Amino acid sequence: MTSPFSRPALVCNSQSGSHDRAMLDAIEAVCRERGAPLAATFALPDDAIPDAAELARRQIDLLIVWTGDGTINAAARNAAGWDGAILPLPGGTLNLLSKALHGDRKARDILADVLRGKGCRRPVPVVRSKDGDAFITIVAGPATRWAEVRETMRRDGLIEASREAPDALDAMLNAPGVRIAGQDRDWPAIILTPTARGIRADGIVAEGPADVLHHGLAWLGGDFRDGPSEHVATGDTIILESEAPISLEYDGELRETESPARFALGTSAVDFIATA
């Protein structure tokens, strides 16, 4: 079977802790075997993430992004308006976007299916705000402090991370929370997820030691969405309020915004490839 793509390109990060030369070789081999050898490789941090004009100039029709969720987000924003498609592969810490599009599968298997024509091409829903777009989730509130602990653990190990954990716990329990405009209850964090039906808002629950433990393990060990939570709203627009600036995690990248903060449902300006 002829591959539906003839000029794929790859974005990777040679300095990432999850970068693996053997996997890079495997990605290159799969492309060659399917008759679609890589037309370009953009290896961060030495190379820049290509924009739509660069991809068009090189006649790229498939952008394979083998990195973490934050870099996939940046690649999608750079490629806005391009007529090709983005294929996220698991290459970071959490790989939430890859899991959403492909399930928990290996990069080589995902790529092989796509180059056999088994993928589905479509835009994806996003959460949009003045600070940017999120393709998987925005976590808003003081509990995002756990994301810094997680990154410290990934970079420096458990001992260093344990030194930051008490501050994250204090922020989660005592810092000003965040709430949906028009509602009275404050939450340590609210998770905003784009869906075809609107933005789903879930408040994380930390009402006792067991809840706090579950959240700490969820943030440090994998998907922060696995901690206890309650559905609080769904809508095309969600406005969040707090008595303090609102800490945010956009697809794994930490930011901060003033209160109130408005989030609207949108659609990605570039197509993605899904296999699940």
pLDDT in tens, 167-204: 766 666 777 899 999 999 999 889 999 998 999 999 98
Q: Which of the 8 DSSP states describes residue 48?
A: P
Distance (Å, whole) CA 59 – CA 177? 48
Q: How many CB atoms lie within 10 A of CB 218?
A: 19
Which value, in Å, is the radius of gyration of the alpha carbons in the chain? Answer: 19
- Residue 26 burial (10 A CB sphere; 0-12, 13-18, 19+): middle
pLDDT at 2: 60
pLDDT at 69: 87
- List pLDDT tens digits, range 55-76: 999 999 999 999 988 899 999 9
Most confident of 151-155, 170-174, 251-255: 251-255
Bond into 209 cis (ω within 30): no
- List pLDDT tens digits, range 84-125: 999 999 987 778 899 999 999 999 999 999 999 999 999 999
Bond into 4 cis (ω within 30): no
At 29, the amino acid letter reads A
pTM score, whole prediction: 0.84
Kindly report the backbone phi and psi dihedral angles of residue 242, in degrees, each rounded to the nearest multiple of 5, phi listed first: -160, 160
